[in-house]
Amino acid sequence: MLNCKDMTKLISDSLERKISVRQRMELWLHIMMCGMCRRFRSNIIELRKRVRVSKGLLDQADIAPASLPPATKARLEEVVKRQLG
Amino acid sequence: MQEQLPKLDPSKWVSEHGETLYAYAMSRLKNADAAEDAVQEALLGGLKNLSHFPPESDVGPWLMGILKKKVVDRQRQSARVDTATGDVDPILDTLFDKNGHWSEATRAADPLRLDSLEQAEFTGILKRCLKGLPPNQAAVFVGREINERNPEDLCKELGVSSTNLWVLMHRARLRLAECIRARWAMGEA
């Protein structure tokens, strides 16, 4: 019998690869009885859906163009200058 | 100093290419310090290899090529570190007790029903929670769930086995679910 920590790993894996029939049975038995794991499962399935819907928004605002903070820029300028002597 | 082609003026690298390089590094590494380090390594790498600069090419793509290698090195390094440390991600001890059951505190906390969260709220919280992920977990999660990369390619790029990919996905999911729950419970949306 898997404990809840291992069960969340199996639940996560089931979104990544085919799990065995035996594992699938254990998963279903477990989540029938365990509300926390059941909620974890529905939340990560929902998370996958939501993340894909949010993709556009994330791409613009966060995932792609992070702008170079002025302090970082100054430090990098300094590094290059020092190397050029 | 070495003799340079006129277009290869390193004193202008940061002002002309810094933004692009940094944006790329951030998109992959999800961490300002790591991105700065990677860009710095790329600039220094470029300076060291001025004599290998292909005369017909442009500086931007050339520096970007160097940066991509530095970024991959970093991702591999952090993925390796995580593998070496095995089962010690603190998120596991936060959420579960020593028998592997959900901890008392976790069970007592306000539950999150993700399906009750509006999309706009969700996106705002998700952005902040992604920033809090360890870089290797972020790289795996973003690669799989946002960029929808296939697992084989992602493993190759990050230099991790599929087993480790699944371990990192599991931890990223636990962390994100907990982070979203906590921020939502604080009424942050």
Chain A residues with beta carbon closer than 8 angstroms to that of B146? 51-52, 55, 58, 63
Inform me whether the C-beta atom of residue B50 falls under 8 Å from chain A C-beta atoms.
Answer: no
Mean pLDDT of B1-22: 79
Does any CB of chain B come closer than 8 Å to the CB of residue A78?
Answer: no
Q: What is the pLDDT of residues B70-129, one digit of tens each?
A: 998 888 777 665 554 455 678 888 899 999 999 999 999 988 888 888 888 888 899 889
pLDDT tens digits along A58-80: 654 454 456 888 999 999 999 99
Domains annotated on chain B, with CATH: 10-85 (1.10.1740.10), 90-185 (1.10.10)
Chain B residues inside the 8 Å CB shell of A72: 22, 32, 36
Model confidence at A85, pLDDT cuts 50, 70, 90, reads confident
- Give the tens place of pLDDT for each residue, B32-46: 888 999 999 999 999
| Distance (Å) from the alpha carbon of A38 to chain B's nearest alpha carbon | 11
The A residues from 15 to 44 touching B (CB cutoff 8 Å) are 15-17, 36-37, 39-40, 42-44
Torsion angle of C-alpha atoms B75, B80, B81, B82, degrees rounded to 10: 90
Model confidence at B5: pLDDT above 50: yes
pLDDT digits (tens, 9 = 90+) for B49-73: 998 888 888 899 999 999 999 998 8
Set of chain B residues whose Cβ sits within 8 Å of the Cβ of A77: 14-15
Say whether the ipTM exceeds 0.95. Answer: no
pTM of the model: 0.68
Q: What tens digit of pLDDT does each residue of A5-60 get? A: 999 999 999 999 999 999 999 999 999 999 999 999 999 999 999 998 877 766 54
- Rounded-to-integer distance, Cα B116 and Cα B154, Å: 32
Q: Note the pLDDT of residue A60.
A: 47
The answer to whether A43 contacts B114, with C-beta atoms less than 8 Å apart, is: yes
β-pair partners for B102: B96
Report CB contact under 8 Å: B170, A48.
Answer: no
Q: Which residues face B96 on adjacent strands?
A: B102
User: How many CB atoms lie under 10 A from the CB of residue B103?
Assistant: 16
pLDDT digits (tens, 9 = 90+) for A15-29: 999 999 999 999 999
| B174 contact residues in A (CB cutoff 8 A) | 8
A40: closest CA among A5, A77, A84, A64?
A5
Minimal Cα–Cα distance from A11 to chain B, Å?
Answer: 9
Q: Are A77 and B40 in contact (CB under 8 A)?
A: no
Within 13 Å, how many C-alpha atoms sit on residue A81's CB side? 7
B107 touches chain A (CB under 8 A): yes
Min CA distance, A75 vs chain B (Å)?
9
Name which of A37, A38, A47 to mutate to probe chain B: the one with the most chain B Cβ atoms within 10 A of its Cβ: A47
**Tokens 């679910």 belong to residue:** B177
